[in-house]
Amino acid sequence: MSNQLSFQQVGSGQPLVILHGFTGSAEAMLPLAKCLSEERTIYLIDLPGHGQTGLLDDLSLHGFEETVRLLKDLLTHLDLEEVDLLGYSMGGRLALGFAVTYPETVNKLILVSSSPGLSDPNERRSRQRSDNDLADQIIEDGVENFVDSWMQQPLFASQQRLDPAILEEQRQQRLTNNAEGLAASLRGAGTGVQPSLWQSLDLVVADALLVVGEEDSKFRRIAMKMSAKFKESSISVIPDAGHAVHLENLPALNDAIYSFLVEHQ
């Protein structure tokens, strides 16, 4: 263990940092990275509790704001003063937190199936309790039981039409994470403990692209509300996709991202 973020680097060109979702890793986002790597140098980050980063020595660094600072430390270490930043789901919440905290560092912001958190304090407290219960469940039941239960959520129902081989590949990727790391991630950076960013969206100076799956009605509504609060933003609705857009319609997602990056150079 250490207190540094692990990452993979592919491609060449202007830097694009990609942050994965909960139970994911850099590996989970590699197919998308390969699509974009002809035009960009992609930095695929393993967030705290996940992938090669795993459980950090200092558990407090699994916190939302602490993770944002770790990301900034990594970019400074890599001599990256300005980057394009893409985050999916949990990674999108962290990407948004980064863009709010370090607006001068982000050229373009791409949020896939993402939210600014919960604005209602009672809702946040309730979600924090359920996240803590879920973290306990991961420790008690183990990663395999948790992952199989996690993927049965209605949010991921549209993935059932995917090739079984793709689903199993993703399942195996999730199983490379360990129980202690995932539990620490939930307790430290889950939606329940994350500060609400709804009132801070106007601090983002980067052009923003909000990407949502056509079948993900909850996050389509969130994207509409978010878009109204950004200085510059657009929404791309990906057909034949639910929450995990990068799994369900990678070609369309790649086209949307590439068009955005080209148009906003």
What is the pLDDT, as a whole number, of residue 264? 67
Cα(173)–Cα(155) distance, rounded to whole angstroms? 19
Which residues in 228-246 are b (16+ Cβ under 10 Å) and which e?
eebeebbebbbeebbbbbb
Does the pTM exceed 0.85?
yes
Cα(13)–Cα(176) distance, rounded to whole angstroms? 30
Cα(141)–Cα(158) distance, rounded to whole angstroms? 26
What is the pLDDT, as a whole number, of residue 2? 58
Boundaries of every domain in the chain: 6-263
- Whose CA is closest to 258, among 209, 214, 205? 209
What is the pLDDT, as a whole number, of residue 159? 86
State the CATH architecture for 6-263.
3-Layer(aba) Sandwich (3.40)
Identify any residues that bridge with 41 across adjacent strands, giving them in sequence order. 11, 15
What is the pLDDT, as a whole number, of residue 157? 85
What is the pLDDT, as a whole number, of residue 161? 87
Q: From the CB of residue 14, how many other CB atoms can be counted at a distance below 10 Å?
A: 15
Q: Are strands 6-11 and 233-238 parallel, antiparallel or unpaired?
A: unpaired
What is the pLDDT, as a whole number, of residue 11? 95
Cα(262)–Cα(265) distance, rounded to whole angstroms? 6
| pLDDT, one tens digit for every residue, the chain (265 residues) | 456 899 999 999 999 999 999 999 999 999 999 999 988 999 999 999 999 999 999 999 999 999 999 999 999 999 999 999 999 999 999 999 999 999 999 999 999 999 999 999 999 999 999 999 999 999 999 999 999 998 888 878 888 888 889 889 999 999 999 999 999 999 999 999 999 999 999 999 999 999 999 999 999 999 999 999 999 999 999 999 999 999 999 999 999 999 999 886 6
What is the pLDDT, as a whole number, of residue 3? 66
Identify any residues that bridge with 42 across adjacent strands, giving them in sequence order. 10, 16
- Whose CA is closest to 33, among 88, 104, 93? 88
Tokens of 151: 């993927």
